[in-house]
């Protein structure tokens, strides 16, 4: 196991039955609280692709995506839950491991053909990531990859993202 992988796994806490019975929640707050581990994660994600924009998915995705954008010298674009963005938006509905939601992006968030990396903390069923990719493409950008800290392989999110370049720093 690589040093980065060990560092990440040692700092993710399993919380059973949150937010619903039967869900094993992967809590990243111990990782966020460790500056050395966070710097290693951000550096790794920032080095994956040369892009114009990093897209972060509300809310935990923001925590990773914003420093990745800074480190990569790219712009940051928020994909937010419905009703939070002030100007004209595009929206997508989706299901995730423990519910459903609607996400939005500003219609003018990208220049045509902007190269984009989508960043999030966890890939579970892939519903959130898939909806985000659709949204970003509808807004006129070119999604060159999806990067997550942790992939929950048993939920088969990767299968829903066939054809995309998916990077996960750890898979469990
Ligand atoms: O692969 P999926 O099954 O779609 O699940 C993954 C998504 O679920 C979590 O977000 P959540 O909607 O719980 O929002 P939060 O970041 O505000 O906690 C997580 O941060 C991912 O975005
Ligand atoms: N099991 C899980 N832990 C943390 N975040 C998640 N998002 C979707 N499923 C999750």
What Cα–Cα distance (Å) separates residue 77 from each residue in 1, 24, 52, 82, 86? 33, 29, 10, 15, 14
ipTM score of complex: 0.99
CA atoms of 83 and 114, how far apart (whole Å): 25
Ligand 2 centroid distance, CA of 120 (Å): 11
Ligand 1 centroid distance, CA of 139 (Å): 21
Ligand 1 centroid distance, CA of 128 (Å): 7
Atom of ligand 2 nearest to the CA of 155: 9
Q: Which residue lies with its CA nearest to atom 17 of ligand 1?
A: 59
Tracing tokens 């995730």 back to the chain, one arrives at 96
Q: Mean pLDDT for the chain?
A: 98
| 107 phi-psi bin (left φ>0, alpha ψ -120 to 50, beta other) | alpha
Query: Does the pLDDT of residue 1 top 80, yes or no?
Result: no
Atom of ligand 1 nearest to the CA of 97: 3
pLDDT of residue 63: 98
| CA dihedral over 86, 104, 62, 10, signed as positive or negative | positive
Q: What is the pLDDT of residues 123-169, one digit of tens each?
A: 999 999 999 999 999 999 999 999 999 999 999 999 999 999 999 99
Q: Which residue lies with its CA nearest to atom 11 of ligand 1?
A: 59
pLDDT of residue 66: 98
Residue 61 pLDDT level (bands cut at 50, 70, 90):
very high
Closest to 165 in 3D by CA, of 118, 96, 124: 118
CA atoms of 35 and 39, how far apart (whole Å): 6
Cα dihedral 167, 57, 94, 133, rounded to 10, equals -50
**Among the bound ligands, the one closest to the CA of 22:** 2
């Amino acid at each position: 196991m690589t040093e980065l992988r060990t560092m990440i796994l040692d700092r993710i806490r399993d919380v059973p039955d949150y937010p619903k019975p039967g869900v094993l929640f992967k809590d990243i707050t111990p990782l966020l609280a460790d500056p050395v581990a966070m710097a290693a994660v951000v550096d790794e994600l920032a080095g994956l692709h040369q892009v114009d924009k990093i897209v972060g998915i509300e809310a935990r995705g923001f925590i990773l995506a914003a420093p990745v954008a800074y480190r990569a010298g790219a712009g940051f674009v928020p994909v937010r839950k419905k009703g939070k963005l002030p100007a004209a938006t595009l929206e997508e509905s989706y299901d995730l491991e423990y519910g459903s939601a609607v996400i939005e992006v500003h219609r003018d968030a990208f220049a045509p053909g902007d190269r984009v990396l989508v960043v999030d903390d966890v890939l579970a069923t892939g519903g959130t990531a898939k909806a985000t990719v659709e949204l970003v493409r509808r807004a006129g950008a070119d999604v060159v990859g999806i990067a997550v800290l942790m992939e929950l392989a048993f939920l088969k999110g990767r299968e829903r993202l066939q054809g995309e370049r998916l990077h996960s720093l750890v898979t469990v």
